Homo-oligomer: A and B are copies of this chain.
Amino acid sequence: MLYIGIDLGGTNIAAGIVDENGKILRQGSVPTLAERPIEEIVDDMAKLCLHLIEEEGLSMDQIESVGLGCPGTVDNANGVIAYANNLKMENTPMRKLLEAYFPGKRINLENDANAAAYGEYIVNGGGAKSFVFITLGTGVGGGIIIDGKLYRGFNGAGAELGHMTLISGGEPCTCGKPGCWEAYASVTALIRQTKAAMAAHPESSMNKWTEENGKVSGRTAFECSKAGDKAAKAVVDNYVKYVADGLVSIVNIFQPERISIGGGISKEGEYLFGPVRELVRKYDYNKYMPKTKISAATLFNDAGIIGAALSK
């Protein structure tokens, strides 16, 4: 059987037809235009999927289920998106809305970070008994897989790994709590840290880089550090420490068999992960048993489609 996975983001709706091994047979995307009424967005989501099914030459009988990954608080038990800020959803009866387009199909609703975690697990998890997925993006998201199943907490709202405390009473976080990991290890935070260093070090090549590239990004400090800039290296070193210190918490809590790290910044590869891994090893409470394997995620945007399609 085949599975439809939809990744509903603030900018784009991506969808794909996925087989049971996590292979995407066909995929496409359309703009979300998030300001619209949700019924119109759902209509575009469904039409995208129906178009993919037609393009692939499939009949609806070959589709087992339809899964949606979506930001915010997802109440799959009741078929409802409890809340999604960017998409103006509150208590939205998403299962009912989708059932109108896919009569008789099982409709599964999942938090987008959980869906991406499950996608990475299916394709790259190697059957790990415990697996944690982190995205270092605009925010810091996460997903937890234990014994092959997503761990969501008793109310479905768990795995908000970006909202662990990293510095009690520290930088404000968008969630309202000061000092979250997200407020230090997200790309948003890295840009803030980069800008502060640029202001403090007018001589740093980060200022020139920014002039040439139009704006400060998550790459600014990394690229200038690689080119030998001292202030940029200090930014990267500090960012590495923040990423590692949150990962140590995850390791000491879960001792997961694998941690996979995605999001834009994961493209920095070993320049980031080498020193991160070293710090995690140093501070891991476990000194005697086998160690968690930490690696970069590989699926990028596909993870959300695959996970939405296959998570249960």
Q: A128-B154, A166-B165 are in contact. Are A288 and B73 (CB under 8 A)?
A: yes
Which listed residue, B154, B157, B170, B282, touches A285 by the CB 8 Å rule? B157
CA distance A146 to B286 in the complex (A): 21
Which residues of chain B come closer than 8 Å to A246, judged between CB atoms? Answer: 165
Which residues of chain B come closer than 8 Å to A179, judged between CB atoms? Answer: 245
Which residues of chain B come closer than 8 Å to A103, judged between CB atoms? Answer: none
Q: A153-B130, A184-B168 are in contact. Are A285 and B248 (CB under 8 A)?
A: no
* Closest CB in chain B relative to A86 CB, distance in Å: 15
CA distance A45 to B245 in the complex (A): 40
**Using a CB–CB distance below 8 Å, which chain A residues touch chain B?**
73, 75, 82-83, 128-130, 144, 146, 151-161, 163-170, 175-177, 179, 184, 241-242, 245-246, 248-249, 252-257, 282-283, 285-292
CB-based contact B241/A168 at 8 Å: yes
Q: A245-B179, A249-B249, A257-B154 are in contact. Are A73 and B289 (CB under 8 A)?
A: yes
Give the copy number: 2
Q: A165-B248, A253-B161 are in contact. Are A83 and B241 (CB under 8 A)?
A: no
Which listed residue, B177, B184, B255, B283, touches A153 by the CB 8 Å rule? B255
Query: A176 — nearest CB in chain B belongs to which residue?
Result: B283
CB-based contact A154/B255 at 8 Å: yes
**Can you list 7 contacts pairing A with B, beta carbon distance less than 8 Å?**
A154-B256, A156-B255, A157-B286, A167-B167, A175-B283, A177-B248, A177-B283
SS of A interface (majority)? loop
CB-based contact A289/B253 at 8 Å: no
CB-based contact A255/B158 at 8 Å: yes
Which residues of chain B come closer than 8 Å to A128, judged between CB atoms? Answer: 154
Given contacts A157-B288, A166-B168, A168-B241, 18 further A-B contacts (CB under 8 A): A73-B287, A82-B288, A83-B288, A153-B255, A155-B289, A155-B290, A156-B289, A157-B255, A158-B254, A160-B253, A160-B286, A161-B253, A163-B285, A165-B166, A165-B245, A167-B168, A175-B285, A176-B282
Which listed residue, B161, B165, B245, B286, touches A155 by the CB 8 Å rule? B286
Which listed residue, B166, B253, B283, touches A158 by the CB 8 Å rule? B253
* Closest CB in chain B relative to A67 CB, distance in Å: 20
CA distance A158 to B248 in the complex (A): 12
CA distance A38 to B292 in the complex (A): 31
Which residues of chain B come closer than 8 Å to A288, judged between CB atoms? Answer: 73, 75, 82-83, 157
